[in-house]
Each structure stands twice: as C-alpha cells, then as structure tokens.
Amino acid sequence: MCGIVGYVGERDAVPVLLEGLRRLEYRGYDSAGIAVQTPDGLGWRKSVGRLTELEQALAANELHGRPGIGHTRWATHGEPSTTNSHPHLDGTGRIAVVHNGIIENYQALRDALGACGHTFQSDTDTEVLPHLIEAELAQGAPDSETALRQALQQARGAYALGVLFADQPDTVYAARLGSPLIVGIGDGEYFIASDVPAIVKHIREVIYLNDGEIAVLTPDGVTVKNLEGEVIEHKRHPVAIAPEAAERAGFETFMLKEIHEQPRVLRSLLESHLTDTDRVHIPDIGFSDDYFQLLRRIMIVSCGTAYHAAMYGKFLLEHLTGLAVETDLGSEFRYRSPRIERDTLFVAVSQSGETADTLASLRLAREMKCKVCSICNVVGSSLVRESDSILYTEAGPEIGVASTKAYTAQLLAFALFSIHVGRARGELSDARAAALVKALAAVPDAIHYVLERADRIRAIADKHHDGPSALYLGRRFNYPTALEGALKNKEISYQHAEGYAAGEMKHGPIALINEYMPVICVCTQTDDEVYDKMISNVREVEARHGRIIALATDGDRQVADLAEDIIYVPPISEEFSPLVNVVALQLLAYYAAQARGTDIDKPRNLAKSVTVE
C-alpha cells in the first residue's frame, strides 16, 4: 500500500526522500511523488510507474529544498496517473499533502468545497484534504496547525498524513488515524515514515503515533498533540532493527535473502522460548494456566499468507490442546455475525500488524469482550497495541512482498503456543511435550538441508514453469502447505495455481488433470494413514497422466516410483513438517518466477501491507 516519508533537517530533502521511498517500494505502488520547500514556495515532482521515472523527472527538472514529504501511491480512487499521484495541493499551491488510507466522506467534502469555488485536479479522495485546510485558513484559522486540526476533525475514514506548508518554514506535520505512521528521531534530524526500515539508518529512536494524533516536526524537535491541540507526552522507543536488516546482503532479491534467513530466524525464536530444561516458556503470554484450563474456544483470524498459518494453528491446537478452534479470514469475519463469547480467545495473526481487515476483526472481538492474543512481527504496530497478549515472531523486517520467513515464524509461534496451552490444560504429559520440543529443535537444520538442495528445485522449476496452471495438493497439517505453495507461485510467478486438500480433488480439480498439468504433491512420510491416503491421491493423478512433482521424505522409494520429479526433505515429525516443506515450495515458486522474468520483490498489483479494506 502507499508509503510515506518526510524529512526535517539541514540536508537537501530530495535525496533523503528518494532513498526513503526506495526502501518503501516493497509495500507496493504504481506512482510516486515528492514536495519540498524552496525559496520560491513549494516545489514538487510526480510520476507514474517506478521510482526511476521520478528520478528521471528530477534529472530533467532539478529540485532542491528542505524540509520535504514523499509518497509512493497504490491506486485506490482513480487510476495510476501523474495527476492522481501525491503530493496533492490546495488551490493556491501552498499546501501539500501525502496520504495513506481512505477518506470515506470525500465525496460529500468535495461537493461542499466545490460549491464554495474549489476546483479539483484529480480523482482521488486525498485531494479534499489540502483544500479543506485551505478553506479553514481562509475562514480565519489562526495558523496552519489549527487549520490542519480543524480539517481533520471533518474527515472520516483512515489516514496517515504528511503535510507541508509554504508559509511555515522548517516544519512538517504528520497525522494518523487507522493507517501506520511513525516519527523517527535522528541527530538533529526528524523523519516520518510508514515503517521503521524506510529510515532506520538515520534514526536512533521512534515514536509510534496513536490514532487521532498530530506530530509537529521542526529542527528543534517533535511535539505530539491531539486533535484538540493538547500536547501528549510520548515514549520514545530505541530502534530495535539493525540497519543491515533492511539490506539485501549480497542476495539478488530480498525474497531469496529472507528464504535463506529461515534457519537462523527459527533457531533464534526457538531459543528465546525454551527454558534451560527445554520447556516452552512464552514470557509475554499474559494468561495464567488457569485461564487456559477454563478456556472453551479459540477463534483465529488473519489474511493472506497469515491465514494459512492460522489454518495450521487450528490443526495443531486441536491436536495438542483439545480445544475447539475456528479460523476465518479478516474480510469475512468482520461482515458475518460471528457467535463468539467472552470465553473465546481471539487470536489475530499478522506479519505487519497493520492489515485493515485483521485489525477490524480484532476490534469486533474486543467489542464482544473477548481476550485478544496476537501473533505479530512488528513491534509497535496497531495490532500489538490493541492486544492483551503478544507472541512476537521475531523474524526481523520482511521486505519481499511475498511472505516467507514471517510465515514459518508464524508456524513456529503456533507450535510453541500449542505446546504451552496443551501443557497448561494438562493435555500434554511432560514426556510428550519434551518429545515435541525435540522434534521442533530439528526444524532449522532440516530447512538448511532443503536450502542446500536449491539447485535441484531450480531445475524442476525451469522444467515446469511455462504451463498455464499448477495444482498443489496436501492433507491435514500439509493442507495449508499446499495452499501456501500455490499462493507463493501465483503471487510472484503469475502462473495460475490452485491449492487443494488432496482428498477433495475428486470433487472438482481432477477434471483439470491431463498430461500437461503439473501437480505438486506434498507427501512427506508419516506414521499414520494420512501418508497412505496421500499416496492414493497421487496414484489418482498418475492414472490421469498428470505431471507429478512430489515433495517426499529422503529415501522414499514409493513416491519416487510415482513422481516425474521429486524434491526430498529430511525426515521430520508430521506436526512440524509444514515448516520444512513450505521452504521447498517457496524456492519452487521463486525459481519459476525467475524463469518467467517477473519482478520478484515487487510483484505487480500486490502490496506488502494492506492497510485499506
């Protein structure tokens, strides 16, 4: 979704803004723009397409100045065009606004402003904001800040804003309601940004703005106020991310780097949640064992890849805790009439902690008086701030749009959580819990084994990437793995892919199978009937001449005899096999995308963090 960056300091703002926008590229965008103060008033440049287009516009027509604001736009209201790009200006060209979110009552505001003589250039909802501020000033607001506050009191919807006034030197305003925005504090320099990685190398501390707050950034410091103008004291948080975490570190893409980070991320998450005696310990869980004993139900809600983690969480929690567990998509949960009661624990799963539908669902659950536990990757995110309890995935910044390390960290978080709850409820004996921890501890090395065989996976991707479609099949714990493998493939390679519960294949997708159809079958070995059932499904594909690509346990001859191509993974317990299997599917999608020549870190039309419905 849209990205915002702003700068107040001694330097020329233009290169600082461009660099910040480049670091926000991963969020997804289709146009970009900046505005700075110059001795002659505000100067701005905008362009459609990638940031290189904006850089070309700046090379053709130089711009320098400070302070400044910048924006990458992911179109919602109005097509991607220079006119619709941000910053948007008022009628006098003296107020510039960049905005992430949606002003829901923009049409009514636009009509009212239009009736007073304001004319609009763009199709966007955002453009009403500079005009509203202009109108407030014209109607006697004593200063820019008051005009901004009065304008925002009329806006409904969601926003993160950066605002620049030609008549207010050395000042950038920021405002937040429902869309992410942080203030960064450097050495005599101040920044705003949609997230920390965009400005991490310049700052020491962060202020996480709350909804309904305005920040005033000047060379003398930052003041935060509410919409009534009252000053709010804010805690400054030290920056917890190392600047190099937002770099590619020699990998050709962020996605490949993040795929390779998984053994380290999972090992460290495990270590921070195991005691000296190898028992699961979740420091911030915030709920007593008694609470879990009395608990009746868990409802897990999330979107996208995080929803596949939720499905895995459901299967594992049911398996290890005896609780009734349900899942739903954020976009569905919030619009149905969910029957959840106080004794339901609501679990929200989100990498960013800013996904609009997940957040709205969490708020609904809170209205229903449920306790909320979040599994989240981003410290200080909205989800974290609105939850009773947090299980951080500690995966570090994830820049590739297609989620990889955040997903496996979510799976591991569910594994740790399930063992914790299972023990608290007396469903897991000491011996069983110890065996589970031992099996979990084998996961990072097993992933490493898969990564070491990436060339074999690349060869398979090269062979199968050019078909129109691919089918992914899995069962039980690996049903979400099949869904996630298919999602990765379509997200980055744009090959149509469908994930299915293998047992459901006969009820539809079997009609698609012919000698051209790649069918990726997750059939790693287990001790029980699920493996045998999966083999029967693979035989059904074979009988219809489908092209079987199997994910199998090292040494499995039965699968080798059936498959055209095979990716081996080391033996791993069935419960935790999805953490390993999915890495092979991430690589398969990655190399298919590479063969198809797509922009892997920034796939078309996708956004990393979906902050609007």
263 binds ligand G6P (CB under 6 A): no
* Interaction between residue 209 and ligand G6P (CB under 6 A): no
Structure tokens given for 19: 């660099």
Percent of the chain that is helix, strand, coil (3-state, to 5): 40, 25, 35
In sequence order, what are the beta bridge partners of 192? 6, 183
DSSP, collapsed to helix, strand or coil, labels residue 82 as coil
Per CB under 6 A, does 610 bind ligand G6P? yes
Residue 358 interacts with ligand G6P (CB under 6 A): yes or no = yes
User: Shortest gap between Cβ of 311 and ligand G6P (angstroms)?
Assistant: 13
| Of positions 54, 303, 345, 421, contacts ligand G6P by CB under 6 A | 303
Q: List beta partners, residue 182.
A: 193, 208
Cα–Cα dist 325/319, whole Å: 10
Q: Are 71 and 46 in contact (CB under 8 A)?
A: no
67 touches 172 (CB < 8 A) = yes
CB-CB contact of 321 with 418 (8 Å): yes
Residue 169 C-beta: closest distance to ligand G6P, Å: 38
Give the contact letters, 46-65, x = binds to ligand G6P (CB under 6 A), - = no.
--------------------
- 128 vs 483 by CB, closer to ligand G6P: 483
CB of 524 to ligand G6P, least distance (A): 24
Q: Which of 180, 304, 313, 444 binds ligand G6P (CB under 6 A)?
A: 304
**355 binds ligand G6P, rule: CB under 6 A:** yes
**Which of 94, 464, 602, 608 is in the footprint of ligand G6P by CB under 6 A?**
608
Q: Which two tokens stand for residue 90?
A: 């008022």
Nearer to ligand G6P, 519 or 585 (CB): 585
Residue range at the interface with ligand G6P (CB under 6 A); choices 230-238, 298-306, 311-319, 463-471: 298-306
Catalytic residue flag (residue 405): no
- Nearer to ligand G6P (CB atom), residue 401 or residue 443: 401
Selected range binding ligand G6P among 72-80, 173-181, 303-311, 565-573, rule: CB under 6 A:
303-311
CB of 605 to ligand G6P, least distance (A): 10
- Binding span for ligand G6P by CB under 6 A among 56-64, 97-105, 115-123, 300-308: 300-308
Q: Which is nearer to ligand G6P, 160 or 401 (CB)?
A: 401
Q: Is the dihedral of CA 239, 243, 245, 246 positive or negative?
A: positive
* Nearer of residues 280 and 402 to ligand G6P, judged by Cβ: 402
What tokens does 161 get? 């804003």
Could you say which of 352, 481, 524, 581 contacts ligand G6P (CB under 6 A)?
352
Residue with tokens 């969020």: 27
- Closer residue to ligand G6P, CB minimum distance, 358 or 537: 358
Report CA-CA distances (Å) from 194 to 48, 271, 345.
Answer: 20, 31, 30
Q: Does the protein bind ligand G6P through residue 483 (CB under 6 A)?
A: no
Contact 384, 409 (CB under 8 A): no
At 421, is the secondary structure helix, strand, or coil? helix
**Nearest CB to ligand G6P, comparing residues 131 and 308:** 308
Catalytic (active site) residue 608: yes
Q: Are strands 190-193 and 3-8 parallel, antiparallel or unpaired?
A: antiparallel
Verify binding: residue 306, ligand G6P, rule CB under 6 A. Answer: yes
Spatial CB neighbours of 317, under 8 Å, sequence gap ≥ 6: 298, 323, 325, 414, 417, 418, 421
CB-based contact 331:307 (threshold 8 Å)? no
CB of 520 to ligand G6P, least distance (A): 20
> In degrees rounded to 5, what are phi and psi of residue 138?
-65, -30
Of 230-238, 396-404, 412-420, 560-568: span binding ligand G6P (CB under 6 A):
396-404
In terms of Cα–Cα distance, which of 178, 204, 120, 196 is closest to 398? 196
Stretch of residues binding ligand G6P (CB under 6 A), selected from 161-169, 347-355, 465-473, 554-562: 347-355
Q: Which residue in 2, 373, 376, 523 is the catalytic one?
A: 2
Among 51, 55, 120, 53, residue whose Cα is nearest residue 83: 120
Q: Which is the catalytic residue, given 488, 490, 602, 608?
A: 608
Angle between helices 51-60 and 13-24 (to 10 degrees): 160
Contact with ligand G6P (CB under 6 A) among 401, 457, 548, 566: 401
In the bound state with ligand G6P, the residue whose beta carbon lies nearer, of 375 and 559, is 375
By CB under 6 A, is residue 387 in contact with ligand G6P? Answer: no
Of 202-210, 246-254, 346-354, 419-427, the segment contacting ligand G6P by CB under 6 A is 346-354
Are residues 498 and 469 in contact, defined by beta-carbon separation less than 8 angstroms? yes
Q: C-alpha angle 135/141/142, rounded to 5°? A: 145
609 binds ligand G6P (CB under 6 A): yes
164 lies in the site for ligand G6P, by CB under 6 A = no
Which residue in 100, 124, 253, 305 binds ligand G6P (CB under 6 A)? 305
Q: Does 361 bind ligand G6P (CB under 6 A)?
A: no
DSSP string, 310-376: HHHHHHHHHHHH--EEEEEEHHHHTTS-----TTEEEEEEESSS--HHHHHHHHHHHHTT-EEEEEE
Span interacting with ligand G6P, options 401-409, 414-422, 535-543, 551-559, rule CB under 6 A: 401-409
Interface with ligand G6P (CB under 6 A): 303-306, 350-352, 355, 358, 401-403, 606-610
Active-site annotation, residues = 2, 608
